[in-house]
Amino acid sequence: MNTVEIKQNFHNLIDKIDNESLLLNFYELLKKRSSAREGKLWNRLSKDQQNELLTALDEIQNPSNLISHSEMKKKHSTWL
């Protein structure tokens, strides 16, 4: 999807929601995210935390490291 399609789909989704509380939650989330300075959270992390995230990002790029949603549900069924 390109930017225009994402915006159109997002507008369509919003138009279908009648729950005022849900809409307000989305609004507040987007408002905070759009006003946040890029990299602010990253810069608050320690070097170790940054390295852990970069390692995790590398690991998820390899499909052999991933498990399906159903496998995850089965593995953690006692907690669901």
Q: Which amino acid is at 8?
A: Q
Mean pLDDT of the chain: 89
In this predicted model, what pLDDT tens digit does every residue of 50-59 receive, in sequence order?
999 999 999 9
| pTM of this prediction exceeds 0.85 | no
* CA proximity to 5, closest of 33, 13, 16, 28: 13
The per-residue pLDDT for 21 is 92
Angle (nearest 5°) at CA 57 between 5 and 60: 85
Tell me what percent of the residues of the chain surpass a pLDDT of 90.
55
